[in-house]
Structure formats: structure tokens, C-alpha cells
């Protein structure tokens, strides 16, 4: 198996630490809030307020389960539009109370279903992209596992983006890439390598800013190894972003996404 596919397999492992466990390990006083106020509460996204070493924060994470029953509840970590709208509601709340937002991204992608289309999956994601780009409070995104396309990006228009060692982020899954572009599902490994979707590839492209390492025995077997590193990074970054004048913060966020593009000019 190629190096990339090994990482993909680790990122997708059912035992892998999920957002609820990360929140438990990283924050105190977490209170979960529910619902988008329009339609429903999407359990694929959990969010609420908490404190990080005395600082109030808003935390939003895409939730995956460790077994079928849990996964049926959280839709295998594939949010519906109401999940993205709940996330946006909590982000606007964070903006009002000047709390930083921390998102934990781990999804194969936004859910593709009839209901999701009826309720405007595209609109929900689009709205988050635009609103996050202008949210007047710091946003930190941490990719903890899979980062599947627009469904991941909808929680990741952030000031700084970190990724766990075995995280990934891509425009579509390597399986999708091989079957759509090459009509050959046997070329998954080749697709995965070509797509440059690992943390090491993405830091070179400046898509992420920091790699957070995992214990060799597996993140779920030694979570503290990783959460200590995340805490250290938060301790360093939160004060810097929180003290930055809003205009400068938004300008830097705009420029961060403005730079993406590979082209030449005649």
C-alpha cells in the first residue's frame, strides 16, 4: 500500500478519536447547543461554548461514530444543510460575544441526498464560506481526520489551519477521483498520490499551516500525546489572533485565501 493510502486508511479508522472526544480532552465546561433554528438539529455537527485555559471559546466539530449505531445517529460524519447552518449560527454568536471559534474537521464530505438538496446543501456551504471570510472574530480550524471537499471547507475558512499527522484534505475522495476522471476504480492508489492530500503535501502548498503529530502507537491509544501539542499551539495562537485588530485579522484571512491559484499571465 502506498504511503498516502496508509494515511487515508488511518484517517478513516473507526476507532480514530472523534470530535466529541477531542472537545472533552481539550476544553473545560463544554456546553453543547443544538439546532439551526430553521429546520432541525444535525447530529453530524456538534457545537457549543467551552473554555480553554480560562478563555471562552466557541467549538464546532464534525462528529463521527465508533460503531454503526453511533454512525447512524451522526450520519457517518456527513452533515446536512442544517448542520452547516447550525455551525454558522454558533459562529455568528461567537462574533457577537467576541469569542474565538475553533472548528474540528473530520468528514468524508457533505451529505449527498434528496433532503440535503431540497434544503439547499449548496446554499448552506456557500453561505458559510462567505460569512466565515468576514467573521469578525478569530477562527482556527483543525483537520483531525478526513477533509472531504466543500463539506470540510465549509468549516475551514479560517485564520490558521492545522492538520493532524494522519489527516487529509482533498477536492474529492481518491476513489471518486479514479472513477470519475479515469473510469477505473483500481487506480485509487495512483489517484491518492497524485492528489497530494496528506499533511506533508498540504503544508508545501500552504493549504495548512501546521502539522500536529500523533503518537506512534495510534492517536486513539495515546490521545494526550496529540492534545498536548494542540493545547500548546492554541496557547500560543489564541492570544495573538484575539489581540489583532479586527481589520487586520480580516485582511490577513482574505489574503490567505486570495493567494490560491496556479496560473500564468501572458
CB of 166 to other proteins, least distance (A): 17
CB of 127 to other proteins, least distance (A): 7
Rounded CA separation 63/17 (Å) = 10
Residue labelled with grid coordinates 488511518: 10
Rounded CA separation 120/115 (Å) = 8
Contact 42, 61 (CB under 8 A): no
Instruction: Write out the residues near other proteins by the rule CB under 8 A.
Output: 110-114, 116-123, 125-127, 129-131, 133-134, 149-150, 153-154, 157, 169-172, 177, 180-181, 194-197, 202, 205, 207, 253-254, 257-258, 260-266
CB of 218 to other proteins, least distance (A): 26
Nearer Cβ to other proteins, position 173 or 226?
173
Nearer Cβ to other proteins, position 186 or 236?
186
Contact 215, 209 (CB under 8 A): no
CB of 170 to other proteins, least distance (A): 6
Rounded CA separation 157/29 (Å) = 26
Of the candidates 118, 139, 117, which has an alpha carbon nearest to the alpha carbon of residue 128? Answer: 139
Nearer Cβ to other proteins, position 20 or 43?
43
Rounded CA separation 62/82 (Å) = 13
Nearer Cβ to other proteins, position 62 or 202?
202
CA 256 to chain centre: 17
Nearer Cβ to other proteins, position 13 or 196?
196
CB of 239 to other proteins, least distance (A): 25
CB of 205 to other proteins, least distance (A): 7
What letter does residue 111 receive in the DSSP assignment? -
Nearer Cβ to other proteins, position 69 or 265?
265
Contact 81, 32 (CB under 8 A): no
Amino acid at each position: 500500500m502506498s504511503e498516502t493510502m496508509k494515511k487515508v486508511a488511518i484517517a478513516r479508522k473507526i476507532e480514530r478519536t472523534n470530535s466529541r472526544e477531542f472537545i472533552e480532552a481539550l476544553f473545560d465546561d463544554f456546553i453543547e447547543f443544538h439546532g439551526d433554528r430553521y429546520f432541525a438539529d444535525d447530529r453530524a455537527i456538534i457545537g457549543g461554548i467551552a473554555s480553554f485555559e480560562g478563555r471562552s471559546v466557541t467549538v464546532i466539530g464534525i462528529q463521527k461514530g465508533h460503531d454503526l449505531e453511533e454512525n447512524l445517529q451522526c450520519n457517518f460524519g456527513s452533515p446536512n444543510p442544517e448542520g452547516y447552518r447550525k455551525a454558522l449560527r454558533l459562529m455568528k454568536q461567537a462574533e457577537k460575544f467576541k469569542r474565538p471559534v475553533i472548528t474540528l474537521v473530520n468528514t468524508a464530505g457533505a451529505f449527498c441526498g434528496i433532503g440535503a438538496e431540497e434544503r439547499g446543501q449548496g446554499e448552506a456551504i456557500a453561505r458559510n464560506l462567505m460569512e466565515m471570510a468576514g467573521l469578525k472574530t478569530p477562527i482556527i480550524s483543525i483537520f483531525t481526520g478526513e477533509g472531504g471537499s466543500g463539506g470540510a471547507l465549509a468549516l475551514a475558512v479560517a485564520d490558521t489551519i492545522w492538520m493532524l499527522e494522519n489527516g487529509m484534505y482533498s477536492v474529492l475522495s481518491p476513489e471518486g477521483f479514479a472513477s470519475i476522471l479515469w473510469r477505473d476504480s483500481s487506480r485509487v492508489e495512483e489517484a491518492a498520490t497524485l492528489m497530494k492530500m496528506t499533511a506533508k503535501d498540504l503544508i508545501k502548498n500552504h493549504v495548512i499551516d501546521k502539522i500536529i503529530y500523533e503518537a506512534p502507537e495510534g492517536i486513539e491509544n495515546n490521545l494526550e500525546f496529540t492534545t498536548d501539542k494542540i493545547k500548546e499551539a492554541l496557547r500560543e495562537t489564541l492570544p495573538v489572533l484575539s489581540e489583532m485588530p479586527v481589520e487586520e485579522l480580516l485582511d490577513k484571512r482574505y489574503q490567505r485565501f486570495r493567494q490560491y491559484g496556479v496560473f500564468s499571465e501572458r
